Amino acid sequence: MPEETAVYDSIIDPTLGVATDSPAGPTALAERPRTLSGLRLGLLANIKRNAEEFLDEVGRLLAEQQGVAAVVARKKPDITSTAPEPILDDLRRGCDVVVVGVGDCGSCSASAVADGIILEQGGIPAVVVCTDAFTASADAMAGLRGAPGYRYLTVPHPMANLTPDGVRDRAAAAVPGIARMLTRGAVAAAS
């Protein structure tokens, strides 16, 4: 009813501030290579327990099984924020594909997805790894970054309490999915 709409229009929307730093619009994913063989792999870890160990094992396995030529490992200092620009820049310059992880808390799952989307915007195919407890925050961040439906890889929760063997098993189970999502044909445009 148009009359009702007019009344509701006089209510101020409390979610509207200033759009000074809103992220850019919809994100198309970077073009995927056909194979990982001979490529430079980036690993973007956060400071959560077992994140680096998991990614290191992923790197080792991708080198062994898929012929990745070099591994560049970086660690971001803050679980809430996206990776600092120098780290992102290193990855953009020094890598052909990147694995980001592990999103296993409220803040770091969302920021891992944001890192992945930023890398895709820079033309770098990326796979974000989150534990399956945090799909809601990962999806919410994808929507906020203009990439609703952005696909990431989930691994069973939790990650932090795994033994070194447990981490290696988790990595081994994740590697086929990571390889698929980094190569051609597997991932459609995000939105």
Partner 1 sequence: MTSPPAGPAGPPGGPVEQARAVIEYCYERGWTDGLPVVPATRPAVESFLEMTERAPDEIIGSAPHLGRSITVAQAAANAVMAGCQPEYFPVVLAAWEAVNLERSARGAWQSTSGPSPLIVVNGPVRGRLGINYQGGVFGPGFRANATIARAVGLIVRNGYGIRPHELEQATQGLPGRWSVCLGENEEMSPWEPFSVVGGVAPGVDAVSAILIRTCEYVDNRGTDSPEAVLTDFADTLARLGAYLGGGHSSGGLVLGPEHAQLFGRSGYSRADVQQWLFEHAVRDRADLVAAGKGGSGGEDSPSDPAQAGTPFPMMPSARDIPVLVAGAPNAAISMVFRPFGWAPWSGRSVPVAWPPAVAAMSERSESNGG
Contact positions toward partner 1, by CB under 8 A? 1, 3-4, 6-8, 10-18, 20-23, 78-82, 105-107, 109-111, 114, 134, 136-137, 139-141, 144-145
Q: Which residues of 58-81 are buried (b: 16+ CB within 10 A; e: fewer)?
A: bbebbeeebebeebbebebeebee
Q: Closest separation between CB of residue 178 and partner 1, Å?
A: 24
Using DSSP bridges, classify how beta strands 126-131 and 153-155 pair: parallel, antiparallel or unpaired: parallel
Between residues 122 and 146, which has the closer beta carbon with respect to partner 1?
Answer: 146
- Pull the structure tokens for residue 96: 């052909």
Q: Closest separation between CB of residue 161 and partner 1, Å?
A: 9
Q: Closest separation between CB of residue 186 and partner 1, Å?
A: 27
Between residues 45 and 142, which has the closer beta carbon with respect to partner 1?
Answer: 142
Beta strands in 52-120 (DSSP E): 70-75, 97-103
Between residues 117 and 178, which has the closer beta carbon with respect to partner 1?
Answer: 117
Q: Closest separation between CB of residue 13 and partner 1, Å?
A: 8
Residues 6 or more apart from 93 whose CB is under 8 A from it?
none
